[in-house]
Structure 1
Amino acid sequence: MNTLTLNPGRLVALGRSEVTLLVRNRAALTLAVLMPLLMVFILRSSLSGADGAEALGEATLTGGIGMVLILVVHMNLVSAYVARREELVLKRLRTGEATDLEIIAGTALPAAVLALGQIAVLTVAGAAALDVRMPRSPLLLVAGVLAGIVLLAGLSALASSFTRTVETAGLTTLPLFLATVLGSGLFFPADSLPDLAASLCELLPLSGVMTLVRAGWSGGSAGGDLLSAGLTALAWIVITVFSVQRWFRWEPRR
């Protein structure tokens, strides 16, 4: 990569062009906007009258936040990076003044903003509809969400390097999706698994992020657990940045 510097003006300009492309895709935009409200409606129907509904509602809402991160950030961005690469957009942008980091971050900016908006709607509307208390440690919750967005943007850029076409993006995003849903504690803590499985699951890319998100909502995790989760998320971000610098593809695969 050329440099890791960021120019806010160029970043916003690149993000604006991505927003234009997103708005033109009416089906994707409608699904993205309505998904949090649809999730709240489904959750309210399924949890109505259940025992321990508040605890179950909190667990489901934090899992919903993880699903928004995976679906809106990761899956959308892998397709976006592949499409821009195959259309030679990335190659043309790289010949201009924009740095490599600005190009990658600018492409990710609309998905990140959309995910933040969806999570805000899911948090407020979900808590009201399910009669669940609002997050006890909102700053910790925000930190976990931001760490997840940065990490997933990097993982999306990396996954795009091994994705030949937009149509095959669903296959290359599937491993992380399954690993996150089954092992990173989206709807239940990983420590509820057997000891060896729980220890391995704690090392998955989104496990640290989801621990921070759950702790931000419930406010019940110990300091050592939060430190471990933060270090795990940070380690994955560092590994991902290094991998993107080395393997990200700017030109179409042949």
Structure 2
Amino acid sequence: MSGNHAPAVRHMKALFRVEWKLFNRIKGNYIYVVFVPLMILMAMRFVHDQLDLAGHGLDAGPLMVSTAAGILLIFSLYSSVTGLYVARREELVLKRLRTGEASDAVILAGGASLYVTVAVVQILVTSAVLSVMFDAVPRQPLAALAGLLTGVAQMTAMAAATAALCRTVESVMVATLPAIFILPMVSGIYLPREVLPDALGDALLYAPLSSTVDLIRSGWTAELGAAALLTHTALALLWTALFAWTATRKFRWEPRV
């Protein structure tokens, strides 16, 4: 590891340990970490029984995996990290951290690192269980990995951009409502785009998180060719860059007066 990156890694580890200690103080957090994936698994089974997925040419296993991953990215990562950033700003933690050696990017990434880890573990465990439940075998692992990585990056950047809009911790719930209620409906999480009119389904490919959901599903179906994989990855990275740019310009490091 080069000397230029060593301090950043050290700061990231220190921030992770701090957030881990704070997370560990509230034992109810562990109930949330386990309860949410279990609820998703039960919901996926119910949805599978209600929908005629085969009639739309959809394989239930890969669809449920991508749906579960999308839900976890929004609820376990995006909403949690948005609240974290605003809370740490209100506590003046972010302001104090900026007086040290860590860069702004490292402060935000380090603060989010615990919830990134939680979300990734939840997604991996849930995907493995769903694969067994629906007898689905990953056929394009690199596509799933690309989806997971771009999803994590996109939701973390969107959390920072959303936190820039929040004045207080209480406002986080209102600020995250569009993503919590609208994003799953337009990105193929709750409703596969294949069941929509062709024009609408094609247009919604460009919604945030849509390309990530498609990449994860292709990890089990191998439905995306090389060109499509690059296109979907580029779209996901474009949204990530847009959210990151917004956060860079608008993010506040101390409470608003």
Same-fold status (TM-score > 0.5): yes
Where in structure 2 are the equivalents of 1:37-186 lying within 5 Å? 37-44=38-45, 47=48, 55-128=59-132, 130-186=133-189
Q: Give the AA of the match of 2:72.
A: V
User: Do the aligned partners of 1:88 and 1:251 also contact (CA within 8 Å) in 2?
Assistant: yes
1:21 deviation in Å?
1.4
Amino acid at match of 2:94: L
Which 4+ runs in 1 deviate beyond 3 A? 41-54
Q: Quick one: structure 1 residues 42 and 209, their matched pair in 2 at CA, closer, same or farther if it must change by over 3 Å? A: closer
Counterpart for residue 25 of structure 1: 26
C-alpha root-mean-square deviation of aligned residues, in Å? 2.3
Identity %: 34
Question: Which range is displaced more, 91-100 or 201-210?
Answer: 201-210
Separation in 2, partners of 1:49, 1:239: 37
Give the counterpart letter for 1:106 in structure 2. Answer: G
C-alpha spacing 1:150/1:52, structure 2 compared with 1 (3 Å): closer
For 1:112, the aligned partner's letter is V
CA contact (8 A) 2:61 2:136 kept: no
Is the CA contact 2:185–2:191 (under 8 Å) kept in the aligned structure 1? Answer: no
Structure 1 alignment gaps of length 5 or more: none
Moved more, 69-78 or 43-52: 43-52
**Equivalent position of 2:235 in the other structure:** 232
- 1:179 deviates by 3.0
SS of the equivalent of 1:252 reads coil
CA distance in 2, matches of 1:207, 1:48: 24
Unaligned runs of 5+ in 2: none
The 1:98–1:27 alpha-carbon spacing in structure 2 relative to 1, beyond 3 Å, is: same
Q: AA paired with 1:77?
A: V
Aligned equivalents of 1:219 and 1:199: distance in 2?
19
Shift in Å at residue 41 of structure 1? Answer: 3.7
Q: CA deviation at 1:108?
A: 0.8
Distance 1:191 1:231, change over 3 A: farther
CA distance in 1, matches of 2:50, 2:167: 48
